[in-house]
Structure 1
Amino acid sequence: MPIFLINYVHWVERWNKRIGRMAMYLLFVLMAVLLWGAIARAVWVPMRWTDQMGQFILAGYFMLGGAYALQMDSAVRMDVFYAAWSPRTKALVDTITIFALLFYLGVLLWGGIESTAYALEYGERKSGLWRPYMAPVKIVMCVGIVMMLLQCTVFLIRDIATLRGREI
């Protein structure tokens, strides 16, 4: 494999690992926000922002951690036949099926970019009493989708290398 592809693979995996590890700590932020909301609801006046902020944090946690979950092979896979296959057969099947995932993520990114552009242009807000802006969570969503797309291209490069008899 060309050295620039090997460098690309290492660069993408390094960044996805860093961002994924940072995203793991969003779970503690989510717990703190929801705990604050529960305490405030029981002791003082209910905080109107905690539920929606919890939804936003969970979306960020999910989207920014997606590429890291793919990288760590934590995604759900039907292993009825796959587990028994040789590494070369797995690479061949993965090389074919990755295009469905790339297409899906591409369409998702396209819709995410259009939705983000709308949110930025018109100052879109979530309905409710707090009415937070939607653009920040949509930007995080697009970043997470791009990270997953990059990780899928890394999978494709690794699988092609395996089919050629070279591991990266």
Structure 2
Amino acid sequence: MPKSLRTYVRWVDCVSDYTGIFAMYLIFAMVGVLILDAVTSGLQIYLHWCIELAQFILAAYYFMGGAKTMKDGDHVRMDLLYDRLSPRGKTITDLVTISCLLFYLVIMFIGGMSSLGYAIETGERRFSMWNPSLIPIKALMVICLGLMILQTVSEIIKHIADLCGEPMTPANTLAAEETTS
């Protein structure tokens, strides 16, 4: 595989890792907000923003964790026939399904951009007592969909490399960078 593709895979995988690790720590923020809500409710001090903020943090958590989940292969897979396939058959099946995923993500990205544009133009807010702006969460959604698209392309490159007999493991990718530099 060309050095540029190996570099692309290495950088996208790295960004996905760091984004996913950051997302893992959002759970602590969400738990903190929910504990604050429970304590203040017990004291009969009602913070109307706590539950909505916890929902936004949860949304950020699963948006940001998507690319790392895909990179690590931790997503849900129906293994009825997949386990019986040869390694080459699995790679071809993965290429077909990930290509469908890429199409879906591009459509979602286009829709997300449209939704974000609408939110920015109208100053869209959630209709509630707290009335927060939806622009930050929609912007995060679009950014994370973009990262998912980049990670999907990275996975396609890895599968093509596997079919060509040049698997791109993390160590293999880094070693190739160092030997060609």
TM-score interval (norm. to shorter): over 0.9
The runs of at least 4 consecutive aligned structure 1 residues that moved more than 4 Å come to none
Give me the whole-angstrom Cα distance separating, in 1, the residues matched to 2:144 and 2:84. Answer: 32
How far 1:43 moved relative to its partner? 0.7
**Count, aligned residues:** 168
How far 1:18 moved relative to its partner? 0.6
> 5+ unaligned residues in a row in structure 2: which ranges?
169-181
Give me the whole-angstrom Cα distance separating, in 1, the residues matched to 2:117 and 2:95. Answer: 33
How far 1:21 moved relative to its partner? 0.3
Alignment of 1:8-157 (within 5 A): 8-157=8-157
CA deviations 1:16-63 (Å, max 9, x no partner) are 001110110000000000110111111132110001101100000000
Give me the whole-angstrom Cα distance separating, in 1, the residues matched to 2:86 and 2:31. Answer: 42
CA deviations 1:48-103 (Å, max 9, x no partner) are 00011011000000000111111111100011221232221111111122221011
Give me the whole-angstrom Cα distance separating, in 2, the residues matched to 1:78 and 1:101. Answer: 15
CA deviations 1:121-141 (Å, max 9, x no partner) are 111100011100000000111
Which stretch of the first structure deviates more once superposed, 69-78 or 79-88? 79-88
> 5+ unaligned residues in a row in structure 1: which ranges?
none
Partner of 1:165: 165
Match of 1:133, as an amino acid? Answer: S
Give me the whole-angstrom Cα distance separating, in 2, the residues matched to 1:164 and 1:9. Answer: 16
Give me the whole-angstrom Cα distance separating, in 1, the residues matched to 2:38 and 2:104. Answer: 38
Give me the whole-angstrom Cα distance separating, in 1, the residues matched to 2:38 and 2:115. Answer: 32
Give me the whole-angstrom Cα distance separating, in 2, the residues matched to 1:22 and 1:163. Answer: 33
Match of 1:90, as an amino acid? Answer: K
Question: Over aligned residues, Cα RMSD in angstroms?
Answer: 0.9
Give me the whole-angstrom Cα distance separating, in 2, the residues matched to 1:38 and 1:24. Answer: 22
Give me the whole-angstrom Cα distance separating, in 2, the residues matched to 1:54 and 1:63. Answer: 14
Q: Equivalent pairs: percent with the same residue?
A: 39
Match of 2:88, as an amino acid? Answer: R
